[in-house]
Every structure is written in C-alpha cells, then in structure tokens.
Amino acid sequence: MLKAIRADLAIVRERDPAARGLAEILLCYPGFQALTIHRLSHRLWNAKPPLLPMKLFARLISQVNRSLTGIEIHPGARIGAGVFIDHGMGVVIGETTEIGNRCLLYQGVTLGGTGKAHGKRHPSLAENVVVGAGAKVLGAINVGANTRIGAGSVVVRDVEADSTVVGIPGRVVHQSGVRINPLAHSALPDAEANVIRNLMERIDQLESQVTALQNCLKDVAEGRSPASIADKHAKSQSLKDKEIIEFLGDN
C-alpha cells in the first residue's frame, strides 16, 4: 500500500507542472487524496476472512471519500500504482473496475457497469491508459495499454493496445506502436470532420457528373455532337475511404 502511495505521489509530480511540492500534493490534490483513502477502504473490503461489518465499514469510508473529494470509488475496485486522477470532480469508478499502473483519468470520467448481473461488469484498463474529461467507459470491456480515449467519448467495446478512441460510440481512429504523450489532448483527430469532408467531396463529384450527363443529353436532343464528359476528380472518393471505414466500423 505504501509503495502504491509513493508511486501516486511520483506520477503527480511527473505529469502536473502545477505541482510545486509534496505538501501541496498532500493537501490540495483531491485525486491523490481519493486514491489514498480508497487504498485503505479496499484493504478492508478484501479482509480475510470476509466479514460483513468490514465491507459495510469500507463502503462508509468510500462515501466519506466521495463527500470530501467529489470522487466516487467503490472499495472493490482494483487500482494499480502510479495512477493519477487529475482534478477528479465527478469521477465514478465501479466495483469490478480494474485500472493498471500509470493510468491517467480526467474530471467527469465514468468507469461504469451495464446490466444487473453479478460478477465482472465494469471495464479493465491496462497500463498507461489516458481517459479524457467526461469520457464514459461502460461494461466488462478491456482497454489495451497505451490507449487514449478522447474527451466526451463513450466506449462500449474492447479496444486494442496503442489506440486512439473518439466519438459516441467510441471508435478507434488511430492505432500504432508509438508511445503516447498522456497530456497531448490537442493531438486527437477529428474523425467526424474527416468523414463529413470526404462525403462532401463525394457529393461534389457526383453532382459534377450528373450536370455533365444532363448537358450531354441536351446536345443529343438538339442534334449537336455531345461534348466529352471529363471527370474533374482524378482520384474519386470511395465509400471504402479510410476515414469513413474507421468512423462507421466494419460492422
């Protein structure tokens, strides 16, 4: 437990340029405070032999934690070392959630469950996952290591490692083996804009072809030789365009 707390301190100093010292992190960082209290409640939740009063006490501690920090973490959640909850207000982490080492969660993130079945019903995040502000990761899904989830996204399906996910529902728009910069939120692609641009270009091409065909039919009707129909778009857009396929998915 102490090792994990030291790792939590170290990751705050590494990733937040606003952190000016140990005292400031201890006293003014609700994400660090929430994780520290959670580690205590988690130990009580998993006490051996399992005792109902201990589980109730662990839940009471998590409720106090929520009141103090604005971050709700169920004591059953398993959280690795070096996790950073930045600001953190409104973060919700469900009972069967698993978070790997060195993950980064921004404010408003929900790692929630779906359905009423018992057992595993919350997501599992591998190491170095970044979840942007307001993003929702729902259900017993797996998110691979070094993945970025864009702000406001809703992820309901498994995500492979080294991916970038944006949109509602979340779609993988980039995948590579390059290590990500956890703070580079401005580098996320605009998948919807790319798709709209490609579709507009496709519509423009089709309208040009229809106009040329209409002119050709008019020439024939008036007894003139039809002009050749030249395609102004040498590289025509296709519905198999990469951005469209990534956005719509193969299903």
What token pair was written down for 202? 């496709």
Which of 187, 220, 236 is the last residue in one of the domains?
A: 187
| 249, 159 contact by CB (below 8 A) | no
6 and 105 share a domain?
yes
Which residue is associated with the tokens 């995500």? 159
Question: Same domain, yes or no, for 23 and 125?
Answer: yes
Q: What is the DSSP letter of 186?
A: G
Structure letter (DSSP) for residue 115:
S
What pLDDT does 190 receive? 60
What's this model's pTM, rounded to 2 decimal places?
0.70
Q: Are strands 163-166 and 142-143 parallel, antiparallel or unpaired?
A: unpaired
15 and 126 both lie in a single domain: yes
Question: In whole angstroms, what is the distance from residue 141 CA to residue 146 CA?
Answer: 16
Classified as helix, coil or strand, 10 is helix
Boundary residue ending a domain (187, 212, 231): 187
Residue finishing a domain among 156, 187, 218: 187
Are 128 and 50 members of one domain? yes
Report the CATH number at residue 60. 2.160.10.10
**pLDDT, position 113:** 86
Q: Are residues 233 and 114 in the same domain?
A: no
Q: How far is CA 173 from CA 157, 202, 242, in A?
A: 14, 21, 10
Rounded to the nearest 5 degrees, what angle is found at the Cα of 44, between the Cα atoms of 39 and 78? 45
Tell me the CA distances in angstroms from 193 to 68, 172, 183, 205, one per residue in order: 40, 15, 22, 18
| Same domain for 138 and 67 | yes
Q: What is the pLDDT along the chain (251 residues), one digit of tens a residue?
A: 677 878 877 888 787 777 788 888 888 888 888 999 999 999 888 888 766 788 888 899 999 999 999 999 999 999 988 899 988 889 999 989 999 999 999 999 999 988 777 888 999 999 999 998 889 999 899 999 988 888 888 998 898 888 888 888 777 776 665 555 555 555 566 666 667 777 777 787 788 888 888 888 887 887 777 766 555 554 545 555 666 665 666 55
Residues 159 and 83 in one domain: yes
Domain that holds residue 210: 191-248
Question: Within this chain, do residues 215 and 100 fall inside the same structural domain, yes or no?
Answer: no
Clarify whether residues 180 and 227 are in a common domain. no
Helices (H), 46-116: 52-69
Whether residues 160 and 202 share a domain: the answer is no
Q: Are 7 and 124 members of one domain? A: yes
Residue 148 is inside which H or E element, if any?
strand 148-149
* Total of domains in the chain: 2
Helices 30-45, 2-15: axis angle to 10 degrees equals 160
In three-state secondary structure terms, 157 is coil
Whether residues 76 and 165 share a domain: the answer is yes
